[in-house]
A and B are shown apart, each in its own frame.
Chain A
Amino acid sequence: MIYSLMKKELKSNVKLHVVFFSIIAMYAITLVAMYDPTLKDSLKTLEASMPTVFAAFGMQNIGTTLIDFIITYLYKFVLIVTPFIFSITMCYRLLAKYVENGSLSYLLNTKHSRIKIAMTQWLNLMLGLVVLILFNTILMILCCAVLFSGELDIPKFLLLNFGLLALQIFIAAFCFMFTCIFSEIKYSIGLGGGLITIFIIMQMLSQVYDNAKILVYCNPLSLFNPQQLVNGNMMSIFNMIILWVLSIICLLIGLLEFRKKDLSL
Chain B
Amino acid sequence: MNIIEVQNLTKEYGNHRGIFNLNFEVLQGEVVGFLGSNGAGKTTTIRHLMGFIRPQQGISKIFNRNSFYDAAYIQENVGYLPGEISFLDNNMTGNAFIQFMAQIKGNVPKDRLNYLVDYFELDTSIKIKKMSKGTKQKLGLIIAFMQNPSVLILDEPTSGLDPIMQNKFIELLKKEKLKGKTIFMSSHIFEEIENVCDRVLMIKGGRLVTSQNIEDLRNNRQKHYTITFSNTEYASAFARLYPDSICTQNKVSFLLCGNVNKLLGELGQYNVKDILVRNQTIEEIFQQYYRGDKNDIFIDEERA
Contacts and interface: CB of A to CB of B under 8 A. Distances in A.
Interface of A: 2, 4-5, 8, 12, 98, 101-103, 105-114, 116, 260, 262-265
Contacts of A263: 47, 52-53
A6 to B, nearest CB: 10
A106 B52 contact: no
Q: How large is the interface on B (under 10, 10 to 19, 20 to 34, 35 or more residues)?
A: 20 to 34
A67 B107 CA distance: 54
B76 interface: yes
Contact of B91 (A2, A12, A108): A12
Given A109-B78, A111-B75, 16 more contacts: A8-B100, A12-B91, A98-B88, A101-B86, A106-B87, A106-B88, A108-B52, A109-B105, A111-B105, A111-B106, A263-B52, A264-B52, A265-B47, A265-B50, A265-B82, A265-B84
Interface in B85-100: 86-89, 91-92, 100
Contacts of B54: 260, 262
B237 to A, nearest CB: 56
A96 to B, nearest CB: 13
Contacts of B103: 4
B72 A106 contact: no
B304 to A, nearest CB: 29
B103 to A, nearest CB: 4
Contacts of B76: 110-111
A102 B52 CA distance: 11
Given A12-B89, A107-B88, A110-B75, A262 B105 contact: no
Nearest to A13: B89
Contacts of B100: 4, 8
Contacts of B75: 108-111
Contacts of B88: 8, 98, 103, 106-107
Interface of B: 47, 50-54, 71-73, 75-76, 78-80, 82, 84, 86-89, 91-92, 100-101, 103-107, 143-144
Nearest to A8: B100
A263 B11 CA distance: 13
B52 A103 contact: no
Contact of B52 (A2, A4, A5, A105): A105
Contacts of B78: 109
A103 B128 CA distance: 13
A44 to B, nearest CB: 50
Contact of A111 (B72, B80, B84): B72
25 contacts: A2-B104, A8-B100, A102-B84, A103-B86, A105-B80, A106-B88, A106-B101, A107-B88, A107-B104, A108-B51, A108-B75, A109-B50, A109-B79, A110-B76, A110-B104, A110-B105, A112-B104, A260-B54, A262-B53, A263-B47, A263-B52, A264-B47, A264-B53, A265-B50, A265-B52
